[in-house]
């Protein structure tokens, strides 16, 4: 008995965590009687021949039996030999069961069940709820007096969740079997002290399931990991149940745990893990390895919204969205109610989590609606991008057209495909009662991926017989019932497949495995029954049907090399039940010697910038080859996050690895612990392969993601990646009407226009604004815009017919011309004028374009315009004046002349009506100051940056030795400046390059500039007292320029980039600067950044690794002419 007791109690000692209070996992709102019934079902409470009577009062002996049952000791008690054993004084005269029970309790004082002071047990004495609650506390591993006392039983029961209120436990209320059942049920839903699963699970009588049966662990991103389960659970365990450590043993916290996907996925929010590094998750003593994926900070976007019917709208997101996307309260549509939201599904009812279908109230035809999305997140928890959370769509009229059956075709002797003229309602078309076929029974109906098609499974058709299928009560997605004039169709029956399958081939894979190939797909159950195979001299240990369907691999005992074996197959059937052809049921094969040759890695190649193929010299074991942490790419890429067998070379010799984002550099993949089919581990001398990573130029074509009309002649389209603005032209975009009709009173429809008048690429390089000159759109019309001949920044062209178009709803909102929005002084000589939208300037602006009128007619403003600067976003201009000030307290009006200013696309001129080109502003005291040097910073041992307190104009020239002077302790230092240029985009920094290394890092120097050559935009020259500053040099080397990267744009063009701006690179057809292995260079073109060049060359072979070197670098120097290019450095790339 003590052994059994130890077995039961041991779980309380194996503590993963200690609960100060114990969570209850009881199912929500279960009635008291249902709880009692569940306990009877689990055999926890047993009836006495006529079921369980919940109205009976609870006695001492019944409560003790319940205790022993919960502790797993009932069988031990029933086997106890009580004859002659010490017992209670009132045992005599009791029946055998009670006498054994009393003696057993007496023999086991560790149960803490004592009798009365007079030595009696009193088995029929009624007990109260407090006494039974104390028993349950003991079963839940709480100790008296450490955790509670007799006086605090009720309070402890409330604390751990056994009861809702301590008042439920007392000495006075009648305690009946029903109440005992409720307390027992609830106790089984609690986690015992020191345990991590419920008492019911621990005793194999689970009420709810919390213990995880883990299949695998994978990473969604750096802070979200998923635990996949073999079976569903009721509630997720505490975060303390999980431990995560890296390869160095450092622990990472699990912050929260939640249940997903039919209760078979536990999602863990964790501390941030490092991309492509290996981690181990431990749960319940079992460890599971996984590789962390990169952080996901990209917000999901709403790409489009399209009305499917009068009461449904399809939303397309840029990535998979979480379950909050199917919460209807997260959507709003003007003038419509959102009734429900659901993921779209495929033919197998799998959720398509990038597509959400909204059910709405009835739409109005021709009305433009806008759906707004809030609180929707992707799987990583990123909330929807607020700049891309709404979309317009056109309302559709109510569909009152009845659907029609347009065809019926037999696909086999037992299947018929029906096609309707529109998408059909799933529930109605999958009801077999809605089909009649004379002479046949319809056994199953399944709507297909094409939602206007239904596949019927029938009893066997008769060959040559014309069958008629009649459809009734099926509906389209709008609820219209099938048209009674088009509800039937004839089809010809096909003969039954009565051809027996044949065994075509058999050959040895290893000395313990044989592959069989049949002439058609075979039934899995019969194919995997080892009793259906016989090989004389060999034992069949296992049979596995392969994914191809017509292949089976047998695992056998060890072959004898060279021995001719014959495999005979019996009872195997094809998918229609035909048994193996007895004339083709055996094949011979030669036995192989034991394969002791270790497998080798023979190569690796990058397919794109996140995919690598690794090739072995033989087929590899699927289990070991598909484990991500058996591959390592070094510190930069770490481990792959996914490994799958290649779909082209399917024998298992080629494996496809998902990596982190590669750069255009050379990587090495190291393979560990991967085995071949014979169990040989990878050869340590041949376990690596080098490959050239593919940078951001991954060969993926750009996609047109979305389009939206912002007024009646302007459409904004967005691509999924940055595009090459040099390839964007208005003629690249065409417009067509998708649904609706354009206004017949409008003679200039955008769908009739050849193409837009203008196309402007925004600063993000993903967005293009398209504008028509005279053509306009109509409301209530859904348009489609299609893009062509547009490349991404690495030269990939958008693919015709593949993600090259987007829908948008037309609008009649007019496009307003730009107007002056406001004017404000930055100081008493600098005026900032803002516009209502981005502008374009036809020619250089000057003083004639801005008329200043003081409010006092007796005054004039005599300031001269020194400079006019248009802001980067084109929404304001800054006018710098000289020779006069705007006086504080005075009001002025600026009038902007419209001649040179148009909207961003150069169509509409500045609006001058109703003084819309004017703005009022007031004078201020703040005056213009001359520029000053703020400080000097050493960039490297021969380069410094001089920073000023404002935007400056510089006439400093390295050719004039007095323009920049370096002193140390008042003495001029021999420091020859080779180049002076502006640095950065703020306009307040000059970079100075010196020849050789003139500075000592231990000394402090002073730089002085010629103040007369530095001025601000108002024309104010630097004061000679503000032209110097001290700096300390640093020892950082100014490295010579060298090749930094090479990226294939196409099979005839490659982009090469140096480590810095260079000079002296000869361009054109006669350039001999660069050499590429295996191909001739035909042309070199310089790009604007000064360090990148496009090399045109003869065609390269796709997938080859090509090395770029500098053949003639004598003339190539850095931008200052100080450092000569390092010709020893080469770069590699993989050709397209």
For residues 632 and 674, membership in a common domain is answered with yes
**Domain presence at residue 400:** no
For residues 190 and 235, membership in a common domain is answered with no
The count of domains in the chain is 10
pLDDT at 441: 95
Confidence label for 872 from pLDDT (cuts 50, 70 and 90): confident
Name residue 252's beta-bridge partners. Answer: 244
CA distances from 948 to 945, 1027, 1028, 1050 (A): 10, 10, 11, 45
471 near 487, Cβ under 8 Å? yes
Whose CA is closest to 663, among 297, 291, 1047?
1047
* 1073 half-sphere exposure, CB direction, 13 A CA radius: 28
Asked whether residue 1108 carries a pLDDT value surpassing 90, the answer given is yes
Higher pLDDT, 378 or 905: 378
Residues 216, 265: Cα–Cα separation, whole Å: 10
In degrees, rounded to 5, the angle at the alpha carbon of residue 591 between the alpha carbons of residues 586 and 593 is 165
Which DSSP string corresponds to 25-80? -PPSS--HHHHHHHHHHTTSS--SSS---TTSBPBHHHHHHHHHHHTT-HHHHHT-
For residues 107 and 14, membership in a common domain is answered with yes
pLDDT at 8: 32
Confidence label for 670 from pLDDT (cuts 50, 70 and 90): very high
**Tokens describing residue 319:** 């990535």
Residues 594, 511: Cα–Cα separation, whole Å: 5
CB neighbours of residue 1037 within 10 Å: 11
pLDDT at 1045: 84
For residues 236 and 272, membership in a common domain is answered with yes
DSSP 494: P
188 near 195, Cβ under 8 Å? no
Asked whether residue 566 carries a pLDDT value surpassing 90, the answer given is yes
Average pLDDT over residues 334-343: 94
pLDDT at 1023: 96
For residues 523 and 650, membership in a common domain is answered with no
- The last residue of one of the domains, among 202, 230, 253, is 202
Query: Worst-scoring range by mean pLDDT, 80-89, 260-269, 560-569, 1062-1071?
Result: 260-269
* Long-range contacts, 659-662 (Cβ 8 Å, 24+): 659/276, 659/610, 659/611, 659/612, 659/633, 660/275, 660/276, 660/294, 660/610, 660/633, 660/636, 661/294, 661/609, 661/610, 661/696, 662/606, 662/609, 662/610, 662/637, 662/693, 662/694, 662/695
**Domain presence at residue 399:** no
Residues 856, 479: Cα–Cα separation, whole Å: 74
Q: Could you give the 3-state DSSP secondary structure of residue 1114?
A: coil
> Considering Cα of 668, then 671, then 676, then 682, what sign does the dihedral take?
positive
**Domain presence at residue 497:** no
CATH number of the domain encompassing residue 255: 2.60.40.1130
pLDDT at 868: 95
DSSP H or E stretch at residue 154: helix 153-159
Whose CA is closest to 1016, among 824, 823, 830, 825?
830
Confidence label for 211 from pLDDT (cuts 50, 70 and 90): confident
For residues 38 and 137, membership in a common domain is answered with yes
**Domain presence at residue 1038:** no
Per-range mean pLDDT, top range of 37-46, 1104-1113, 1116-1125 = 1116-1125
**Tokens describing residue 891:** 């009001």
Between β-strands 767-771 and 758-761, what pairing exists: parallel, antiparallel or unpaired?
antiparallel
Higher pLDDT, 1076 or 397: 1076
For residues 246 and 347, membership in a common domain is answered with no
pLDDT at 1: 35
For residues 848 and 942, membership in a common domain is answered with no
**Domain presence at residue 978:** yes
Q: Could you give the 3-state DSSP secondary structure of residue 1012?
A: helix
Residues 991, 939: Cα–Cα separation, whole Å: 9
pLDDT at 696: 58
Domain containing residue 518: 503-590
**Domain presence at residue 208:** no
Q: Beta-strand (E) ranges in 493-538?
A: 503-510, 513-518, 533-535
- The last residue of one of the domains, among 202, 222, 242, is 202
DSSP 479: -
Query: Worst-scoring range by mean pLDDT, 110-114, 374-378, 507-511, 1079-1083?
Result: 110-114
Average pLDDT over residues 529-540: 95
Q: Tell me: the pLDDT tens digits for 718-761?
A: 998 889 998 999 999 999 988 777 877 777 888 888 789 989 99
CA distances from 1020 to 829, 866, 884, 950, 1094 (A): 11, 10, 12, 12, 43
Query: Worst-scoring range by mean pLDDT, 63-77, 480-494, 924-938?
Result: 63-77
727 near 695, Cβ under 8 Å? no
pLDDT at 28: 42
Residues 470, 480: Cα–Cα separation, whole Å: 17
Residue-averaged pLDDT of the chain? 88
For residues 190 and 239, membership in a common domain is answered with no
Alpha helices, DSSP H, located in 1001-1072: none
Whose CA is closest to 140, among 181, 192, 183, 204?
192
Q: Tell me: the pLDDT tens digits for 940-996?
A: 999 999 999 999 999 999 999 999 999 999 999 999 999 999 998 889 999 999 998
Confidence label for 202 from pLDDT (cuts 50, 70 and 90): confident
Sheet holding 466-471, edge to edge: 435-437, 466-471, 488-492
Confidence label for 262 from pLDDT (cuts 50, 70 and 90): confident
Whose CA is closest to 1031, among 932, 945, 951?
945
Average pLDDT over residues 907-921: 93
**Tokens describing residue 391:** 């979309």
Residues 776, 795: Cα–Cα separation, whole Å: 33
Residues 875, 394: Cα–Cα separation, whole Å: 32
For residues 46 and 147, membership in a common domain is answered with yes
Asked whether residue 16 carries a pLDDT value surpassing 70, the answer given is no
- The last residue of one of the domains, among 571, 590, 609, is 590
Residues 816, 890: Cα–Cα separation, whole Å: 32
**Domain presence at residue 296:** no
pLDDT at 290: 93
**Domain presence at residue 1061:** yes
pLDDT at 48: 53
In degrees, rounded to 5, the angle at the alpha carbon of residue 653 between the alpha carbons of residues 648 and 654 is 50
CATH number of the domain encompassing residue 619: 2.60.40.1220
Which residue matches tokens 């056109």?
394
Which DSSP string corresponds to 666-689? EEEEEE-S-BBTT-PBPPGGG-EE
DSSP 234: S
Residues 296, 276: Cα–Cα separation, whole Å: 13
Q: Radius of gyration (Cα) for the chain, nearest Å?
A: 41
DSSP 927: -
Asked whether residue 511 carries a pLDDT value surpassing 50, the answer given is yes
Q: Tell me: the pLDDT tens digits for 41-54?
A: 888 776 654 567 77
Share of the chain above pLDDT 90, in %: 54
Higher pLDDT, 558 or 1113: 558
Q: Tell me: the pLDDT tens digits for 449-479?
A: 888 999 999 998 988 789 999 999 999 988 9
Average pLDDT over residues 795-824: 87
Confidence label for 25 from pLDDT (cuts 50, 70 and 90): very low
For residues 976 and 1048, membership in a common domain is answered with no
For residues 908 and 826, membership in a common domain is answered with yes
Q: Tell me: the pLDDT tens digits for 108-132?
A: 887 777 788 888 988 888 888 898 8
Residues 765, 721: Cα–Cα separation, whole Å: 8
**Tokens describing residue 513:** 């495995």
Q: At what angle do helices 129-139 and 60-70 cross, to 10 degrees?
A: 20
């Amino acid at each position: 008995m003590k052994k059994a007791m130890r077995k039961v109690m041991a779980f309380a000692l194996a503590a993963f965590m200690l609960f100060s209070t114990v969570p209850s996992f009881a199912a929500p709102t279960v009635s008291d009687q249902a709880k009692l019934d569940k306990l009877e079902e689990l055999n926890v409470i047993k009836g006495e021949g006529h079921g369980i009577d919940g109205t009976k009062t609870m006695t001492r002996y019944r409560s003790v039996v319940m205790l022993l049952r919960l502790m797993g000791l009932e069988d031990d008690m029933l086997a106890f030999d009580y004859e002659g054993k010490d017992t209670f004084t009132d045992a005599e005269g009791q029946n055998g069961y009670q006498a054994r029970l009393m003696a057993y309790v007496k023999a086991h004082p560790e149960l803490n069940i004592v009798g009365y002071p007079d030595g009696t047990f009193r088995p029929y004495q009624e007990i109260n709820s407090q006494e039974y609650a104390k028993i349950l506390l003991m079963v839940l591993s709480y100790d008296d007096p450490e955790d509670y006392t007799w006086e605090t039983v009720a309070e402890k029961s409330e604390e751990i969740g056994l009861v809702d209120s301590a008042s439920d436990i007392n000495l006075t209320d009648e305690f009946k079997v029903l109440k005992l059942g409720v307390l027992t049920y609830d106790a089984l839903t609690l986690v015992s002290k020191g345990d991590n699963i419920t008492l019911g699970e621990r005793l194999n009588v689970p009420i709810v399931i919390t213990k995880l049966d883990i299949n695998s662990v994978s990473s969604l991103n750096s802070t979200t990991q998923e635990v996949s389960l073999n079976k569903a659970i009721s509630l997720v365990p505490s975060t303390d149940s999980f431990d995560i450590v890296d390869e160095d043993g450092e622990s990472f916290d699990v912050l929260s745990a939640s249940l997903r996907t039919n209760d078979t996925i536990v999602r863990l929010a964790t501390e941030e893990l490092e991309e492509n590094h290996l981690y181990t998750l431990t749960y319940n003593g079992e460890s599971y390895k996984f590789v962390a994926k990169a952080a996901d900070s990209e917000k999901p976007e709403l790409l489009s919204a399209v009305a499917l019917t009068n009461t449904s709208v399809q939303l397309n997101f840029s990535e998979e969205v979480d379950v909050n996307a199917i919460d209807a309260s997260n959507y709003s549509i003007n003038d419509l109610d959102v009734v429900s939201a659901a993921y779209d599904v495929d033919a197998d009812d799998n959720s398509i989590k990038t597509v959400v279908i909204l059910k709405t109230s009835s739409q109005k035809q021709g009305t433009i609606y806008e759906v707004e999305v809030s609180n929707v997140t992707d799987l990583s928890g990123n909330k929807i991008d607020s700049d891309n959370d709404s979309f317009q769509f056109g309302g559709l009229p109510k569909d009152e057209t009845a659907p029609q059956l347009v065809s019926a075709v037999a696909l086999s002797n037992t299947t018929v495909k029906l096609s309707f003229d529109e998408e059909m309602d799933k529930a109605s078309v999958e009801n077999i009662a809605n089909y009649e076929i004379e002479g046949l029974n319809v056994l199953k109906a399944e709507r297909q991926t094409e939602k206007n098609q239904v596949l019927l499974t029938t009893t066997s058709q008769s060959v040559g017989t014309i069958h008629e299928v009649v459809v009734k009560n099926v509906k389209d997605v709008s609820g219209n019932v099938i048209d009674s004039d088009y509800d039937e169709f004839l089809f010809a029956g096909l003969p039954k497949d009565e051809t027996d399958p044949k065994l075509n081939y058999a050959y040895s894979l290893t000395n313990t495995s044989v592959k069989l190939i049949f002439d058609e797909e075979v039934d899995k159950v019969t194919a995997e029954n080892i009793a259906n195979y016989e090989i004389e001299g060999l034992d069949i240990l296992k049979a596995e049907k392969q994914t191809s369907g017509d292949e089976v691999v047998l695992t056998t005992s060890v072959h004898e090399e060279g021995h001719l074996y014959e495999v005979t197959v019996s009872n195997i059937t094809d998918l229609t039940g035909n048994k193996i052809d007895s004339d083709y049921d055996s094949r011979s094969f030669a036995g192989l010697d034991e394969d002791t040759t270790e497998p080798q890695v023979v190569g690796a190649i990058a397919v794109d910038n996140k995919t690598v193929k690794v090739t072995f010299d033989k087929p590899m074991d699927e289990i070991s080859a598909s484990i991500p942490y058996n591959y390592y790419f070094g510190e930069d890429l770490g481990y792959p996050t996914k490994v799958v067998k290649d779909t082209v070379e399917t024998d298992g010799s080629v494996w496809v690895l998902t990596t982190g984002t590669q750069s255009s550099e050379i990587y090495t993949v190291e393979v560990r612990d991967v085995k071949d089919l014979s169990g040989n581990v990878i050869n340590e001398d041949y376990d690596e392969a080098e490959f050239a990573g593919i940078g951001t130029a991954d060969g993926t074509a750009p996609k047109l993601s979305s389009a939206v009309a912002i007024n009646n002649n302007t459409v904004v389209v967005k691509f999924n990646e940055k595009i090459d603005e040099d390839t964007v032209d208005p003629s690249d975009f065409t417009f067509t009407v998708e649904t609706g009709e354009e206004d017949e009173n409008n003679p200039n429809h955008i769908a009739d226009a050849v193409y837009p008048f203008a196309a402007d690429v925004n600063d993000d390089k993903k967005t293009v604004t398209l504008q028509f000159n005279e053509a306009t759109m109509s409301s209530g019309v859904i348009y489609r815009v299609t893009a062509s001949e547009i490349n991404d920044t690495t030269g990939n062209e958008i693919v015709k017919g593949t993600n090259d178009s987007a829908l948008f709803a037309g609008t009649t909102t007019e496009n307003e011309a730009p107007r002056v929005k406001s004017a404000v002084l930055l100081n008493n000589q600098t005026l900032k004028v803002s516009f209502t939208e981005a502008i374009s300037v036809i020619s250089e602006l000057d003083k004639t374009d801005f008329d200043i009128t003081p409010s006092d007619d007796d005054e004039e403003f005599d300031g001269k315009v020194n400079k006019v600067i248009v802001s980067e976003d084109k929404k304001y201009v800054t006018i710098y004046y000289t020779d006069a000030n705007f006086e504080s307290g005075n009001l002025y009006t600026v009038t902007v002349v419209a001649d040179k200013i148009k909207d961003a696309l150069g169509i509409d001129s500045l609006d001058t009506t109703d003084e819309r080109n004017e703005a009022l502003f007031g004078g201020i005291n703040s005056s213009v100051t001359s520029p000053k040097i703020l400080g000097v910073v050493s960039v490297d041992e021969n380069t410094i940056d001089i920073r000023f307190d404002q935007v400056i104009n510089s006439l400093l020239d390295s050719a004039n030795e007095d323009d920049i002077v370096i002193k140390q302790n008042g003495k001029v230092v021999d420091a020859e400046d080779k180049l002076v240029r502006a640095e950065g985009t703020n306009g307040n920094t000059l970079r100075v390059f010196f020849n050789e290394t003139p500075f000592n890092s231990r000394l402090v120097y002073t730089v002085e500039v010629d103040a007369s050559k530095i001025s601000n935009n108002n024309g104010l020259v630097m004061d000679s007292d503000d032209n110097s500053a001290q700096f300390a040099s640093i020892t950082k080397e100014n490295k010579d320029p060298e090749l930094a990267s090479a990226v294939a744009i196409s099979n005839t063009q490659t982009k090469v980039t140096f480590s810095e701006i260079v000079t002296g690179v000869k361009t054109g057809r006669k350039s001999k600067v660069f050499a590429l292995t295996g191909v001739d260079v035909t042309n070199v073109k310089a790009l604007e950044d000064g360090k990148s060049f496009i090399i045109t060359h003869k065609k390269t072979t796709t997938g080859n690794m090509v090395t770029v070197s500098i053949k003639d670098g004598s003339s190539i120097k850095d931008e200052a002419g100080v450092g000569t290019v390092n010709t020893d450095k080469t770069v590699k790339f993989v050709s397209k």
